[in-house]
Amino acid sequence: MSLNVPFVNLNNGQQFPIFGLGTWKSKPGEVTQAVKDAIDAGYRHIDCAHVYGNEAEVGAGIKAKIDEGVVKREDLYITSKLWNTYHRPDLVEPAIKTTLKNLGLEQLDLYLIHWPFAFKEGDSLFPEKDGKTEFSDVDYVDTWKAMEQLVKKGLTKSIGISNFNHEQINRLLESAEIKPVTNQVEVQPYLNQQKLIDFCKSKDITITAYSPLGSPDRPWAKPGDPQLIDDPKLKELAQKYKKTPAQILLRYEVQRGLITIPKSVTKSRIQQNIEIFDFELSADDVKYIDTFDCKGRVCAFNTAQEHKYYPFNIEY
C-alpha cells in the first residue's frame, strides 16, 4: 500500500522517502511487530542504530515482510549509524558489517556518523571511569575518510552525519571526497533549527529531523518537564485542522522539506503518523509554529559536553 510519501533528492543523485519509522527505545520484544505494522501501513524508510540494541529484531520485521512478498528489498530505505566507540578508521568497516549482519542485509541505504565525538574504543558502548564518560580524540574527519570507503566497497549507498554543527560540517567539507547527503539532527517546534537548516541547504545537505514529537518517552524526562505533544497551542491547531497534535507536528516538518522519523511501537499511532500527506498547514500557521521555539533541546547528550567535538556549545 502506498500513501504517496514524497521522496527527497539527495546530493548524490539518489532519493529517500521524506518520512520513516524511528526505532530508538523500541524494545526488542516489540520492534519486530512495529516494523511489520509500519511496512503494512506504507512506511518504506526505517531509521536504526547499533546503539539502539535492537537491530536484529528490526531486521526480523524487514525479513518477514520481504518473505511475505509485501515489499522487495529495493523498495526499502534502511539507515543505521556508526556508534561513538567505533570512530577509529580501522573500526568503521567492522562496525557496519556488524550492523548489516544484525539487520540481515547485504547493503545499507544510508550510514551516518551518529555523533561528531568519539568514545574510548572497547567493549562498552558507554565507557566510564570514576562516573565520567571516557573519551577518544579520534577526529571525525579521519572517520569520514573510512566512511567514504564503505560507499566505494558497496556496503552502503549513501553516507551522512548526525548531530554535527555548521562549523564541523564546514571542516568536514574541506577534505571530503564524498559529501554527506544528510545531517540528522533534532528538529521540533521548541527547537526549530532554522539557521542550521538554512546552512545545510546552502551546502546541498538535507536535514533529517529526529525527535519530531519532542521525544515524550526520552529516558531522562522528569515529571513536570514540558511535553511538546501536550502543548495547548498545538492542541488548538489540531482542532482547527481536525488532525491530532502528532500529525500537526509531523506535517510541520515535511512542509519545511525535512525528512522526519517519528518513533512508535503502537499500531494505531504508526498508522496515524503516516496520514499527513492529505492536508496542508497554511503558511501563517507554519510561521506561528516557528514562534514556539525556546531553544528547547531534548537530546543534548550532556555527558559529552566536555568533549572537544561536542556540537552544541555554539549557536548552530
Ligand X SMILES: NC(=O)C1=CN([C@@H]2O[C@H](COP(=O)(O)OP(=O)(O)OC[C@H]3O[C@@H](n4cnc5c(N)ncnc54)[C@H](OP(=O)(O)O)[C@@H]3O)[C@@H](O)[C@H]2O)C=CC1
Binding interface with ligand X (CB under 6 A):
22-25, 47, 114, 162-163, 184, 210-217, 229, 244, 246, 261-266, 269, 272-273, 299
Binding to ligand CC(=O)C(C)=O by residue 49, rule CB under 6 A?
A: yes
- 52 catalytic? Reply is yes
Compare residues 10 and 244 and give the one whose CB is closer to ligand X: 244
- Helix (H) or strand (E) holding 210, with range, is strand 206-210
Q: How far apart are CA 147 and CA 202, in angstroms?
A: 23
Binding to ligand CC(=O)C(C)=O by residue 31, rule CB under 6 A?
A: no
DSSP sequence for 51-117: GGS-HHHHHHHHHHHHHTTS--GGG-EEEEEE-GGG-SHHHHHHHHHHHHHHHT-S-EEEEEES-SS
In a 3-state reduction of DSSP, which class is residue 207? strand
229 binds, among ligand CC(=O)C(C)=O, ligand X, none (CB under 5 to 8 A by kind): ligand X
| Residue 307 labeled ligand binder | no
Contact 262, 273 (CB under 8 A): yes
Residues 6+ apart with CB under 8 A from 40: 1, 65, 70
| Site map 155..194 versus ligand CC(=O)C(C)=O, x via CB under 6 A | ----------------------------------------
- What are the cell numbers at 83? 556508534
| Site map 266..305 versus ligand CC(=O)C(C)=O, x via CB under 6 A | ---------------------------------x------
Least Å distance between CB 287 and ligand X?
22
Q: How far apart are CA 116 and CA 309, in angstroms?
A: 6
Name the packing angle between helices 245-255 and 283-290 (round to 10°): 100
Q: Which residue is it, cell 515482510?
A: 65
Compare residues 174 and 199 and give the one whose CB is closer to ligand X: 199
Contact 256, 194 (CB under 8 A): no
Compare residues 117 and 135 and give the one whose CB is closer to ligand X: 117
Least Å distance between CB 153 and ligand X?
24
Contact residues for ligand CC(=O)C(C)=O (CB under 6 A)?
A: 24, 49, 51, 114, 299
Residues with catalytic roles: 52
Which residue numbers belong to the known binding site? 114
